[in-house]
Amino acid sequence: MIYDINDHPLPAFLIDETLTILSQSENAAKAFSIHSSFLDLVDFDSRDKAVRMLSPSQDEVELELVMNTVQSPYSLFQVFAKWSSGVGQIVCVRQDDRIEKLSTMLQKQRERLADTNFDLLDKKEELEAALMKIKKLSSPFLPISNNMGIIPLFGELEKELFLVNELNLLQILNNGKYERVILDFSGIGEIENSGVLPLLSFCSMLEVIGVSVVLCGLKPNHVLQLMKYDFELNQNFEVTGTLKDAVDYYLKQSFT
């Protein structure tokens, strides 16, 4: 049985190196009408690609081209080409509009998601800003004498509390030539695991700039949590004592 391109179930062509059509299937003639050059079927913007890709040097190739059919002058085709002895066999498979529909739907959904996404982003940014504000207000510095001040801490003791405030506090203490600072824990609920090391490093930094740290108002659960991390304190004052006692104790000490 001899193969006859005329009966090919798809638009198929035999072309030479100059892309001149040697013969074509019945389906090809129906889809594109009769042309002498394969390039005549290809949309203007796809021609460079067709010339580059449809050559014997490419041997076997699969590519997308926009082609001008009788039905529609701008259709996407998957084109398969195979060369032997300077003759190229070409089969064109029309890409139906399902992908187009799909991409339109995708686009619509993405737009809707993006809208929601942006609203949420707005809220998230607002929340983050509010949270930062709260954190900033959660460790104010209160000077009580020329060389001593208090930092009352509030909320949960966690990493962020120090991240947000430590630089600012260090600058105040350093510029004000303070010698002692009392960290008051009465307003702290829980000491989170993430907060212990930053607290330690904050205390070390204070020591480095010559400020002695005193902790007060610690609850038993705070102490337990700090003990887990070998937290060492170098203070005579009882850490579980109240802020009032700490202030009394150190103010008296500075007058003696």
Partner 1 sequence: MAINIEMLTDDFLEGDQNQAWERIMDHSELVENSYLTFEVLTKAMHRIGILWEENKISVADEHLATTTCDYVLSRYAHFRKMANRNSEGPKALFLCIEQEQHYLGVKMISLLFEEYGFQTKLFGANLPLEYTLDQAKKWGASVVGISVSIRHHAERLNRYVTELEDLPHSPEIIVGGRLASQYDLSSYCSEQTKLVADLRQVREWLESWKDSVQYDL
The reply on whether position 224 binds partner 1 by CB under 8 A is no
Read off the DSSP letter of residue 39: G
CB of 166 to partner 1, least distance (A): 26
d(CA 141, CA 168): 10
Which of 49, 82, 159, 219 touches partner 1 (CB under 8 A)?
Answer: 49
Pick the stretch among 85-93, 103-111, 178-186, 216-224 that binds partner 1 (CB under 8 A): 103-111
**C-alpha torsion angle, residues 83, 84, 90, 95 (rounded to 10):** -50
d(CA 67, CA 74): 6
The reply on whether position 59 binds partner 1 by CB under 8 A is no
The reply on whether position 76 binds partner 1 by CB under 8 A is yes
- 94: tokens are 């029309």
**In the sheet that 180-191 helps form, which strands lie side by side, from edge to edge?**
142-143, 148-157, 180-191, 212-216
Which of 74, 177, 207, 244 touches partner 1 (CB under 8 A)?
Answer: 74
Which of 4, 7, 59, 64 touches partner 1 (CB under 8 A)?
Answer: 64
The reply on whether position 94 binds partner 1 by CB under 8 A is no
Pick the stretch among 100-108, 131-139, 147-155, 156-164 that binds partner 1 (CB under 8 A): 100-108
Closest to 94 (Cα-Cα) out of 111, 116, 79: 79
Which of 99, 142, 144, 251 touches partner 1 (CB under 8 A)?
Answer: 99
